[in-house]
Amino acid sequence: MLVPAVVLALALAQPALAEPLPALPAAFRGLRRDTAPYKGFSGVRVRSDSARKVFFHDQTIAVVEVSKDYNTMDLQNCELIEVNKAGLAREALQNLSTIAKPSQLGFPDMSALMRRCQALDEARAAAAAGGQGPAAVAATKRKIDDNPDPSSLLSGILPGTKWCGTGDIASNYFDLGTERDIDRCCRTHDLCPVKVRAFQSRYGLSNMSFYTKSHCVCDDMLLQCLKASNHSTANIMGNIYFNLLRVPCVEDVEDASVARMERRYRSAKRY
């Protein structure tokens, strides 16, 4: 998730900010999510007896593991991969065809799959935390929070996360910070299949701002996810993105004159 470092610093110092900030200084204007490194398929497989499937839509590829019981098709693992260039997408899909024949999904189905993947990750994390016990989890979290990762601070990433900020510092899809619930929200948003990156054009839309503009469904998912975490860090993130930056999103609208769907920008919701 893109958040310029100067805005991040101000919001951390004053989390309750609700008024727009002045224009960003020129030195910070180049900080945008375009610099996030490409993360190919990690090869992670949680079960040797699972069936693997590859799905894709626009700028996102999903490699999923499901049970071989085709009556249930239980989801067992997910890995989402961002491919924001046509050549990169073709190469990635060709490489992944050795795992399974890639199948294209519509945007609603891909969004639903991403929700299921996030829910699976949350359930798995809750089960793991339950095994440690609340006291152990809290003690570990305090220890890490007292010693924040220097690379996170220098990279303009929200402390405790690896995906919330100016790009990301994650090594792969499964690499999350200590604030895992919040980081999952940002990770899913970063991997939105439909978006217009900074200073680029797509879907007949131009984005001459310093922020990637994602599909409104992805922005809505982010807002709901951050609020559901009920955490002060999530509120900082939500205030920055929705209340301070107020980044417009991409929505689908039906053009009756040509009987087809078109895309346009919609104003951001309030957090």
**Active site residues per annotation:** 189
User: Does residue 201 come out as left (phi exceeding 0), alpha (psi in the -120 to 50 range) or beta?
Assistant: beta
Whether the CA torsion 53, 115, 236, 265 is positive or negative: it is: positive
- Both tokens of 118, joined, read 């996030």
User: Does residue 204 come out as left (phi exceeding 0), alpha (psi in the -120 to 50 range) or beta?
Assistant: left
Kindly give, in sequence order, each residue whose CB lies less than 8 Å from that of residue 58, ignoring residues fewer than 6 positions away: 107, 193, 194
Tally helices (H) and strands (E) across the chain.
8, 10
| Single-letter amino acid, residue 220 | D
Which DSSP helix (H) or strand (E) runs through 254? strand 249-255
What's the alpha-carbon Rg for the chain, to the nearest Å?
19
Residue carrying the six token digits 């997910």: 78
CA distances from 190 to 27, 93, 196, 213 (A): 23, 20, 12, 10
